[in-house]
Structure 1
Amino acid sequence: MQTKRLIRLNEVINVTSLSRSAIYRMMDTGEFPKSVSIGKRAVAWEESAVCQWIDSVLSGGAHD
């Protein structure tokens, strides 16, 4: 069984090299995985979804 891991915004920014505003803009247009609420004022992303997005970009399937 694969362990699911949630990553916070700073880590998403680090691994994607996108800005905060670019991440949220791309989420709004469906170009980037949606975040999940983990508290009243906290969100995170499923690490595997972000990795799949990166793979898609590297294979030419997505663009910013």
Structure 2
Amino acid sequence: MSSGDQALPGKTLINRKTLLAMIPLSERAIFNMEKRGEFPRRIALTSRNVAWDLAEVEEWIETRKRSGEQADRPGFSVIA
């Protein structure tokens, strides 16, 4: 755990730098997915500092791996 990460009993919080090292997406893409409920919500620690629950992020990754589905491209929809 890096110095920017914080531990709570039973929880590990990761900072933005650690999140972006784990998830190769832009900050904007992650923010947009959060707003749509497609990514774990950030936790506001202070007015300028946010973190994510490591277990939630890891579960999101595992869910993506298990689904085997490709993400939809913005602006495109599949009509069956």
Q: 1:37 aligned to 2:44?
A: yes
Q: Which runs of 5+ in 2 are unaligned?
A: 1-8, 73-80
* Higher alpha-carbon Rg: 2
CA apart distance, 1:9: 1.0
Q: Greater relative contact order: 1 or 2 (C-alpha under 8 angstroms, separation 6 or more)?
A: 1
* Aligned 1:17-36 pairs, distance under 5 A: 17-36=24-43
- Give 1 or 2: higher helix fraction: 1
CA apart distance, 1:61: 6.7
CA apart distance, 1:3: 3.0
59 and 9 in structure 1: CA distance in 2 versus 1, 3 angstrom threshold:
same
Runs of 4+, deviation exceeding 3 Å: 61-64
CA apart distance, 1:30: 0.4
Q: Percent identity?
A: 33
Q: TM-score, with normalisation over the residues of structure 2?
A: 0.71
Q: 1:57 aligns with which of 64, 75, 80?
A: 64
CA RMSD of aligned residues (A): 1.8
Match of 2:21 in 1: 14
Q: TM-score, with normalisation over the residues of structure 1?
A: 0.86
